[in-house]
Amino acid sequence: MIDKEYIQTLFNAGKLYRCLPYALIFKTTHYCYYKCGHCCENAGPHRERRYINADIICDYISQAIQQPSFSRDVIFTGGEVFSSYKFGYEKYVSRLLTFSLDNGLSTDIKTNAGWANTNWGGEIFNDLHNILAKYPGDALSDGGRLNAPKLQISLSVDRFHSNCIQNNIRIIMGLLNSHVCIHVSSLNTDIDYTDNFNKELNKVLRSAHVGYIDAFTSQGQPIKIINNKIVLYSSYGTLFSHGRASDLSDALKVDLPQYKFVGDGNVLVAFDNAGMVSLGENSGHKIATRWQKSDGGVVPLNTIRKNLYRNILLDPFTTHTK
Ligand code: SF4
């Protein structure tokens, strides 16, 4: 685990940018047509239908590509990023995914899947098919080795996301012939939802070839291969007390500052739609700075990272440093 003294040493030596690997995450909007009780982002239909400008996101990605400490991982999330299709930004998601994938980055997009069974979901499927057609492949090579897809779509299965089982299954069935990774995340408290999801998925997959590779995720979960195209795995996480989740009795309150996550591999440098960027995602005590200036201009990525690490050093929270 990293500590302030280490960060101070690197900071003084001007080595921070080379030493601390980071990934980019863009919380593109706070708008969502759901209003889940556990939403860490306070997203919902009451929030503005506004999205971080795609040119700005692509420019930040371009800046990151120049930096050796960028892990080359990009995550797009919200709110619900696919809601952009409803409000006249039909090419928003395609632009982001295409830019990231064309630059050879490991790309993950998170969705509540609420669009999958709607009449506007067809356009999303079309766009995903077109994007994924540029990156064809089989999940397993001739030698039986895993051929990792370029794009991951992250879905949620839990008690909060309504119709999540039917919607997520619709997405998988709609992408059955595309080389794509599907990550299904759930909460430690909601494992029965994932069990139901797997049962229902197995029923509809009868005609498609389903197999497993001889490997497990870091959480010990099996990796499923569907139709020799889709790589599917599950993960379980903790419900953290943040945003609306703070009202839930079983949400875990975390006092650790987010920079404590710096030592756990890549730190997430998370941009949000309110013009802020923070270290870490949605749990713990926030270390943040602005990416958007008051005049609408944007702060360069190098300056943002410098400001974030400076704010770690200025942060009065010292109880858990060691
Ligand atoms: S948890 Fe996800 S689906 Fe639910 S309100 Fe928040 S952003 Fe929307």
The model's pLDDT over 199-253, given as tens digits with 9 standing for 90+, comes to 999 999 987 888 888 888 888 888 999 999 999 999 988 777 777 777 777 777 7
pLDDT at 244: 73
Query: What is the distance between the alpha carbons of residues 57 and 37, in angstroms, rounded to a whole number?
Result: 29
Average pLDDT over residues 292-309: 93
Helices (H), ranges, 77-216: 92-102, 121-133, 164-174, 191-204
Atom of ligand 1 lying closest to residue 41 CA: 6
pLDDT at 246: 76
C-alpha of 70 from chain center: 16
Cα within 13 Å of Cα(66), Cβ side: 8
User: Atom 3, ligand 1: which residue's CA is nearest?
Assistant: 112
Atom of ligand 1 lying closest to residue 79 CA: 7
Query: What is the distance between the alpha carbons of residues 225 and 231, in angstroms, rounded to a whole number?
Result: 5
Q: How confident is the model at residue 321 (pLDDT cuts 50, 70, 90)?
A: very low
List residues near ligand 1 (CB under 6 A): 32, 34-36, 39, 41, 43-44, 78-80, 112, 161
Pocket test for ligand 1, best of 28, 32, 111 (most atoms within 8 A of CB): 32
pLDDT at 140: 93
pLDDT tens by residue, 12-31: 776 666 667 889 999 999 99
Helices (H), ranges, the chain: 4-12, 16-19, 54-65, 92-102, 121-133, 164-174, 191-204, 301-314
As a whole number of Å, the CA-based R_g of the chain is 20
Query: What is the distance between the alpha carbons of residues 255 and 236, in angstroms, rounded to a whole number?
Result: 21
pLDDT above 80 (res 317): no
Domains of the chain: 4-314 (3.20.20)
Amino acid in position 101: L
Average pLDDT over residues 257-280: 76
CA of 39 to the centre of ligand 1 (A): 5
- State the pairing for strand pair 180-187/70-77: unpaired
pLDDT tens by residue, 57-100: 999 999 999 998 899 999 999 999 999 999 999 999 999 999 99
Beta strands in 8-90 (DSSP E): 22-27, 70-77
Q: How confident is the model at residue 282 (pLDDT cuts 50, 70, 90)?
A: low
Pocket test for ligand 1, best of 28, 30, 39, 42 (most atoms within 8 A of CB): 39
pLDDT at 242: 74
What the block records as the tokens of 315 is: 């942060």
CB 160 within 8 A of CB 113: no
Q: Of 75, 62, 94, nearest to 271 (Cα)?
A: 75
Query: What is the distance between the alpha carbons of residues 318 and 258, in angstroms, rounded to a whole number?
Result: 12
Give me the phi and psi of 148, to 5 degrees please: -65, 125
Q: Which residue has the higher pLDDT, 255 or 216?
A: 216
Pocket test for ligand 1, best of 25, 41, 110, 283 (most atoms within 8 A of CB): 41
pLDDT at 54: 98
Amino acid in position 91: K
Amino acid in position 308: L
CA of 58 to the centre of ligand 1 (A): 24
pLDDT at 319: 44
User: Is 55 exposed, middle or buried (CB count within 10 Å of its CB: 0-12, 13-18, 19+)?
Assistant: exposed
User: Atom 6, ligand 1: which residue's CA is nearest?
Assistant: 39
pLDDT at 320: 40
Neighbours of 316 (CB within 10 A): 6
Query: What is the distance between the alpha carbons of residues 40 and 215, in angstroms, rounded to a whole number?
Result: 32
CA of 188 to the centre of ligand 1 (A): 18
pLDDT at 126: 98
Pocket test for ligand 1, best of 30, 81, 112, 185 (most atoms within 8 A of CB): 112
- Percentage above 70 pLDDT, the chain: 89
CA of 246 to the centre of ligand 1 (A): 14
Atom of ligand 1 lying closest to residue 244 CA: 6
pLDDT tens by residue, 123-161: 999 999 999 999 999 999 888 899 999 999 999 999 999
